[in-house]
Amino acid sequence: MSEPMIVSVGPPQAFRHQVARAAEVDQESVVWVPSVTAAEELIETGEEIVDILVLSPEIKEADAIGIADFVGRSSPATAVLLVRERPPDNGLLPAAMRAGIRDVVDLSQGTPELREALSHVAAWSRNLRATRLDDRNATGTRGVVVSVFSSKGGTGKTFLACNLAVAIAQKTKQDTALLDLDIDMGDVFSYWGEEASRPVQDIIALRDKSNRDEVLNTATKFHDHLWGFAALPDPTAQSIPGEAVGKILRSIRNVFPFTVVDAAAEYSDLALATFDSSDVICLITGLDIVGIKHMSAALETLHAIGVPRERFRIVLNRADSKVGLAPADVERLMQLKVDALIPSSRLVPASLNKGRPVYLESPRSDVTKSIGAFTEKLIADFPQDTIVATGKRHPFARG
């Protein structure tokens, strides 16, 4: 395996040597450029494939965020690593994450922290390049991945993932996977009256599975054409490494025409890797100002890491609530189109208590009708050249 292409950005030039020592490579193997402008020019020429940009402590925060935004648009598989001489301010970390910076390293903790960060982002960059190469070289074996995300609790993220998955399975009559990646306290199985029992290691092991029987051996069948994957909820469990998520999703989507992911609720490597592998990302919120702020931040973050705008779908849950804010206000304030309006209903908690998604429990309800209409929109919007694992035309394809 070849060494990653590392570029040290910013003064002093001696910082290059520190980066080389941390990466455990010869200093000649690390390229040095004096500024973020020079780094942008290096990437723009395309003469070298840059895997990692390491921004020295002399790089100002605004410049770091600026080049991260540039990289997200121009070279999404290039990892940006920001180095500081002291612990970063509380406001820097979320701003850096939204800009697409992969990690912020505190040099006061010594070289080992920089070494670990370099190793981590190198693996992320290598995996992302391999994923995108796999996608370009796919020969009809790639299913569709739809992820559901909200960084604010209580918006209905798991509710939407579960009901959307069963709607897809019912409407397409194609095998569909429902993957719970909210490792700490995932609730997907509760919507089916089940309890996840597998350790997180079983989910991680999916990355090494290559055939249908091996993958299904880790799944629980929920309904016709629908299988669930989840780890036993454990707040103390170590999260799935981001570099493993792409492999897990590739294993599942090579077996299932459709995969719906209940994504992690924070901007972890796990969540970001999920977004990288998703064809559609459903952002869900309720009609409250805090939820709208979280959705706005999610849009900015996903754009910053290079996710195309056309992958986003905006879902307003409990959209008929009389709270002084209407869906039209959200569209006007955020300058976006809402793709689905799901009404409030006591049927939702009632169906959860019965262990049966409302889409199945109350098929004539307004909630079910809204989810069904949204699913049909997804069906109509998928690319014509999307192919299922069986080699047939994808049911989402038009024409």
Question: Residue 337 maps to which CATH number?
Answer: 3.40.50.300
391 falls within a domain: no
Tokens at residue 228, please?
């669930």
**Residues 18 and 147 grouped into a single domain:** no
Can you tell me whether residue 227 is helix, strand or coil?
A: strand
Q: Which residue among 135, 161, 190 closes a domain? A: 135
Q: Which residue among 77, 111, 135 closes a domain? A: 135
pLDDT score recorded for residue 131:
61
**Residues 90 and 146 grouped into a single domain:** no
399 falls within a domain: no
Find out whether 181 and 261 touch, Cβ atoms under 8 Å: yes
pLDDT tens per residue across span 214-259 = 999 999 999 999 999 999 877 777 778 776 787 788 889 889 999 9
**Residues 108 and 151 grouped into a single domain:** no
Find out whether 53 and 79 touch, Cβ atoms under 8 Å: yes
CA–CA dist 15, 124 (Å, integer): 23
Q: Is the pLDDT of residue 282 over 90?
A: yes
Tokens at residue 116, please?
């670990």
314 falls within a domain: yes
Q: How many CB atoms lie within 10 A of CB 139?
A: 7
Residue 299: partners with Cβ closer than 8 Å, 6 or more residues away = 283, 312, 334, 336
**Residues 236 and 321 grouped into a single domain:** yes
Could you tell me which of 146, 186, 178 has the C-alpha nearest to residue 162? 178
**Residues 41 and 67 grouped into a single domain:** yes
Bridge-based pairing state of the strands 103-106 and 176-180: unpaired
- Structure-model confidence comparison of residues 102 and 302, the more confident one: 102
Report residue 301's pLDDT band, with 50, 70 and 90 as the boundaries.
confident
CA–CA dist 164, 158 (Å, integer): 10
Bridge-based pairing state of the strands 103-106 and 79-84: parallel
What percent of the chain stands above pLDDT 90?
38
Q: Is the pLDDT of residue 135 over 70?
A: no
The answer, as to whether pTM is greater than 0.85, is no
- DSSP secondary structure, 42-87, as one string: HHHH-SS---EEEE-TTS-HHHHHHHHHHHHHH-TTSEEEEEESSP
398 falls within a domain: no
Q: How many CB atoms lie within 10 A of CB 188?
A: 26
Find out whether 272 and 157 touch, Cβ atoms under 8 Å: no
Could you tell me which of 344, 334, 285, 280 has the C-alpha nearest to residue 153? 285
Structural domain range at position 35: 6-135
Q: How many CB atoms lie within 10 A of CB 28?
A: 8
Find the CATH number of the domain harbouring 81: 3.40.50.2300
Q: What is the CB-side half-sphere exposure of residue 395 using CA atoms within 13 A?
A: 17
**Residues 72 and 169 grouped into a single domain:** no
396 falls within a domain: no
Can you tell me whether residue 284 is helix, strand or coil?
A: strand
187 falls within a domain: yes
pLDDT score recorded for residue 174:
92
pLDDT score recorded for residue 139:
43
pLDDT score recorded for residue 126:
83
pLDDT score recorded for residue 398:
34
pLDDT tens per residue across span 36-84 = 888 887 887 776 789 999 999 999 888 898 888 888 888 888 999 999 9
**Residues 216 and 100 grouped into a single domain:** no
392 falls within a domain: no
Facing residues of 361 across strands? Answer: none
CA–CA dist 111, 107 (Å, integer): 7
**Residues 253 and 361 grouped into a single domain:** yes
**Residues 339 and 239 grouped into a single domain:** yes
Report residue 132's pLDDT band, with 50, 70 and 90 as the boundaries.
low
Q: What is the CB-side half-sphere exposure of residue 8 using CA atoms within 13 A?
A: 23
**Residues 130 and 147 grouped into a single domain:** no
Q: Which residue among 118, 135, 152 closes a domain? A: 135
- Structure-model confidence comparison of residues 20 and 266, the more confident one: 20
395 falls within a domain: no
Q: What is the DSSP secondary structure assignment for residue 225, as one 8-state letter?
A: T
Count of structural domains, the chain = 2
**Residues 322 and 246 grouped into a single domain:** yes
**Residues 114 and 184 grouped into a single domain:** no
Residue 48: partners with Cβ closer than 8 Å, 6 or more residues away = 5, 31, 42
